[in-house]
Amino acid sequence: MTKKRRIAVLTGGGDCPGLNAVIRAVVKTAVAGELEVLGVTNGFAGLVEDWFRPLGDAEVSGILPRGGTILGTTNRDNPFHYPVENGGVCAYRDESERVLANLKRHNVEGLIVIGGDGSLKIATLLSAKGIPLVGVPKTIDNDIPHTERTFGFDTAAMVATEALDRLHTTAESHHRVMVLEVMGRYAGWIALHAGIAGGAHCILIPEIPYELAKVAEHVRQRAAKGKPFSIVVVAEGAKPVGGALTIARRVEGSFESIRLGGIGEKLAGQLEDMTGMEARCTVLGHVQRGGTPTSYDRVLSTRYGVAAVEAYLRGERGVMVALQENRIVTVPLSCVADQPSNVPVEGELVRVARSVGVVFGNE
């Protein structure tokens, strides 16, 4: 009997809604194309530690609406900078040759990597070592270049919007300033989309450094006009003019050692002191990553998964599938790494928000 060709799929970096939908689409498309599929568990660590398992129709049945990833993931393990304990001391080594050996041992001829910018950077390095590879863009932050949308973003923005809807009623009832801190790292896409959709009065994003005095003045002006409450959405990477990022902690060995967080509580305290109005902060955190994906994310994830396998079968290597003008295309992985996609300061969405009265703290 002729041995079937075999590919592997992994999910790297932080989890987000839609990962399982991509895995399902990869498996179903691959099986229809006469390919066998192995799942790599726990991200890039699985490539190094030889953690592979078969994936077929039975394994992906029913996972379309599930959040998270059935394969597991990690945002700490990089095969080119891999933690190895020796005599109780942790050191970092290049273990990429182990990855090549493990893929060869399992007769894996190609790899589908589903991940954000950190994972796709590693994928680029693996591709350079000769591994036939196709990337799929994943992040709730929507900050990967050359694609109009990453899956997971729509769900995260919807979660934040629903939180704003709820905060509106309690803010108005108690005449408070309610600050909602959302994720997004160094891009303000979640804050901007949720802020517009949720009727926020002030949106603070990394791309537009804010002046605290101007934010406080806007809150006071609303109160003077008979609106003694305000809703402020702040992205975790926002910072004041001339100020620094608010860092929660640092994690050695992670794709991203700096963990942002805390700007919301800081801002709420400052606004309370400056306006005399009671201010409270809500931090959504990982609630934005969890739960079932929206229908948009399920469809986009499925399109990406199908496109990744189809690109592989066409012989494309070292590419990422992307959404451009509502069409799925492929772009070179080398164009993606270390080139974040930020909110255009002069773009339509910022202009639209300003037109309906939203302030960004620099007016």
CA–CA dist 65, 214 (Å, integer): 43
Torsional class of 201: left (φ above 0), alpha (ψ -120 to 50), beta (otherwise)? alpha
CA–CA dist 288, 153 (Å, integer): 9
- Picking from 163, 155, 231, the residue whose alpha carbon sits closest to that of residue 189 is 155
CA–CA dist 195, 160 (Å, integer): 8
**Active-site option among 77, 141, 143, 154:** 141
CA–CA dist 2, 51 (Å, integer): 26
Residue 338 annotated in active site? no
User: E strands, 266-318, where?
Assistant: 279-283
CA–CA dist 281, 232 (Å, integer): 9
Q: Are 187 and 312 in contact (CB under 8 A)?
A: no
Residue 339: both structure tokens together: 């080139």
Tell me, rounded to whole angstroms, the distance of Cα 317 from its chain centroid: 24
Going 309 to 312 to 317 to 319, the CA torsion angle's sign is: negative
Write the CA distances from 76 to 256, 260, 333, 341, 361, integer angstroms.
8, 16, 21, 23, 35
Render the burial of 254-281: b for 16+ CB within 10 Å, e for the rest.
bbbeeebbbbbbbbbebbbebbebebbb
Q: Are 258 and 247 in contact (CB under 8 A)?
A: yes
CA–CA dist 309, 316 (Å, integer): 10
Render the burial of 112-130: b for 16+ CB within 10 Å, e for the rest.
bbbbbbbbbbbbbbbbeee
Which residues participate in catalysis according to the annotation? Answer: 141
